[in-house]
A = this chain, B = another copy of it.
Amino acid sequence: MTPPSTDINQQEILSNLSYLLREDKVDFVRNILADLHAADIADLVEQMPPEERDQIFSILDPEIAGEVLAEMEDPPREDVLEEMDSSKIAELVNEMDSDDATDVIDAVREFSADKAREVLGQVEDEVSEDIHELMHYAEDTAGGIMAKEYVAVNVNWFVEEAIKEVRDKSDEVEELYQVYVVDDFGRLVGFVPLRDLFLARPHMPIKQIMNTDVYAIDSDMDQEKVARIFEKYNLVSAPVVNKSGQLIGRITIDDILDVINEETDEDLARIAGIGEEEILEDSVLRIVQARLPWLLISFFGEIGSAMIMQSFDATLDQILASAFFIPLIMAMGGSIGQQASIIIVRGLGTGEIDPKDLGRRLSRESKAALLNGLVIGALVFAIVAFWLNDLAFGLVLSTSLIIVVMNASLFGSMIPFGLRKINVDPAIASGPFVATFNDVVGLLLYFSLLSVAFKYQLLA
């Protein structure tokens, strides 16, 4: 037994495949691909030049080719779909699970609604019905990630009829862990774990062995909430129901892993001010397009800082040393603001922090910021006293630092809660927008304090 290697040498295989494709040695290529999992082939295809991709998809058996297409990531997949004829796409879509098939049609529609319609016109009727149904659901809801492949048995059946249904559906439903139980109106009433079904006596009624504590997911539930339910209750699959409680689909744990990864990508993109699908993006222009708006927010904010400082130019001119500590003020405010906001963004995301916890969190964060502020305030006072030999300036600076830090912690903790309340992604609070805001407010506080101290002749 040779377990599939997890460290396949991509570069070596790619150059071998490239050579063999150029020499038209199709059988050799087929042999190499036969030993690989669809996910590994997808990784390879993502790295290939367009003409080789086309060749690979024409060499692969349609079932495997469909899996490869399902496993590919965007944007490389979009490029593949743009190059492929609609009849070839339809051939692969026929072989895919309904959720993956719908994703492919959605991806095609992104660049050409006509081509998407063409593909749908060419797939099998049953497949196109499923896709049409799944396309109705918003992408980020339970309906948007569920598939139509599942096994349902009637609550009035016996075990042996249910086992026959499992057998009949075994080609269509690949990963089966549970059989769902429905009433005569198709409403979900329970489930039977596969093992319990098989270990039960054939003449036993399903009613007697089913478990009625079933986690039914509403089709319009937000996908992140679905992910939280899977995580919390350690589920590997869950049935999806419509408003009338009728079983309409199934979500499996692999969909949930995708949701979790998407969510992390999204959070990190917000924090850094970048695009969400950037990792595999090859177009520098598209990268710039995603990042520039965030940079500009920060740019104009800091031009605001410059204007504030100009309005304090007399103070700045008199106490030139005040400029030396601008970076310190900004960095401390920025760091403490981000410490508070990231922990709250993450907690709100995982559900470990409840939107109602604002007060408790504010108090926790302010206390932590105050303690940290006192430590760095004392340090900077000591440093200024020794280095610049100016106790009064040291005092104003350390006071400013403590106020700036408290203020940043306040904004950093409150803004995620506020954004959540108005249904905006709280992760924005850890990004450039709030950081810039903190810079502007921090500098305004610092220079105001300085100029007041100067006015009352507290500073030399």
Asked if B383 and A303 make an inter-chain contact with CB atoms under 8 angstroms apart, the answer reads: yes
- Give CA–CA (A261, B368) in the complex, Å: 25
Contact of A233 with B37 at beta-carbon distance under 8 Å, contacts A284-B368, A323-B316 already known: yes
Asked if A310 and B321 make an inter-chain contact with CB atoms under 8 angstroms apart, the answer reads: yes
Asked if A328 and B303 make an inter-chain contact with CB atoms under 8 angstroms apart, the answer reads: yes
- CB contacts under 8 Å to B, within A345-376, are 346-347, 350, 352-354, 356, 364, 367-368, 371-372, 375-376
Shortest beta-carbon distance from A346 to chain B in Å: 5
Contact of A331 with B301 at beta-carbon distance under 8 Å, contacts A260-B260, A295-B336 already known: yes
- A268 in the interface, Cβ–Cβ < 8 Å? yes
Closest 5 CB pairs of A and B: A306-B324, A198-B198, A302-B328, A272-B342, A305-B327
Shortest beta-carbon distance from A456 to chain B in Å: 23
Q: Which residue of B lies closest to A401 (CB)?
A: B299
> For A176, A236, A380, A436, which residue has the most chain B Cβ atoms within 10 angstroms?
A236
Shortest beta-carbon distance from A27 to chain B in Å: 22
Contact of A328 with B309 at beta-carbon distance under 8 Å, contacts A260-B260, A279-B353, A372-B291 already known: no
Shortest beta-carbon distance from A414 to chain B in Å: 17
- A4 in the interface, Cβ–Cβ < 8 Å? yes
- Give CA–CA (A213, B332) in the complex, Å: 54
Asked if A372 and B271 make an inter-chain contact with CB atoms under 8 angstroms apart, the answer reads: no
Residues of B within 8 Å of A343, CB to CB, are 268, 272, 274, 278-279
Asked if A39 and B233 make an inter-chain contact with CB atoms under 8 angstroms apart, the answer reads: yes
Residues of B within 8 Å of A350, CB to CB, are 261, 279
A interface, CB within 8 angstroms of B? 1, 3-4, 6, 10-11, 37, 39-40, 73, 163, 166-167, 170, 175-177, 188-190, 194-195, 198-199, 212-216, 225, 228-234, 236, 253-254, 256-257, 260-261, 264-265, 267-268, 271-274, 278-280, 282, 284-285, 287-288, 291-292, 294-296, 298-299, 301-303, 305-307, 309-310, 313, 316-317, 320-321, 323-328, 330-332, 334-336, 338-339, 341-343, 346-347, 350, 352-354, 356, 364, 367-368, 371-372, 375-376, 379-380, 383, 430, 432, 435-436, 439, 443
Residues of B within 8 Å of A189, CB to CB, are 1
- Give CA–CA (A167, B175) in the complex, Å: 21
Residues of B within 8 Å of A303, CB to CB, are 328, 380, 383
Asked if A232 and B342 make an inter-chain contact with CB atoms under 8 angstroms apart, the answer reads: no
Residues of B within 8 Å of A316, CB to CB, are 320, 323
Which of B10, B199, B231, B331 is the one whose CB lies under 8 Å from A298? B331
Residues of B within 8 Å of A439, CB to CB, are 327, 331
Shortest beta-carbon distance from A229 to chain B in Å: 6
- Give CA–CA (A231, B306) in the complex, Å: 48
Asked if A346 and B432 make an inter-chain contact with CB atoms under 8 angstroms apart, the answer reads: no
Shortest beta-carbon distance from A328 to chain B in Å: 4
Q: Which residue of B lies closest to A343 (CB)?
A: B278
Contact of A4 with B331 at beta-carbon distance under 8 Å, contacts A10-B354, A316-B323, A364-B287 already known: no
Asked if A231 and B257 make an inter-chain contact with CB atoms under 8 angstroms apart, the answer reads: yes
- Give CA–CA (A343, B271) in the complex, Å: 11
Residues of B within 8 Å of A368, CB to CB, are 284, 287-288, 291
Contact of A39 with B342 at beta-carbon distance under 8 Å, contacts A327-B439, A367-B284, A368-B291 already known: no
Asked if B261 and A335 make an inter-chain contact with CB atoms under 8 angstroms apart, the answer reads: no
- Give CA–CA (A272, B215) in the complex, Å: 36
Q: Mind listing 23 A-B residue pairs with CB under 8 Å?
A: A3-B214, A4-B213, A6-B229, A170-B195, A175-B236, A264-B264, A265-B346, A272-B338, A274-B343, A279-B346, A279-B352, A284-B368, A287-B368, A288-B368, A291-B339, A294-B339, A295-B336, A296-B376, A298-B331, A298-B335, A330-B331, A331-B439, A335-B432
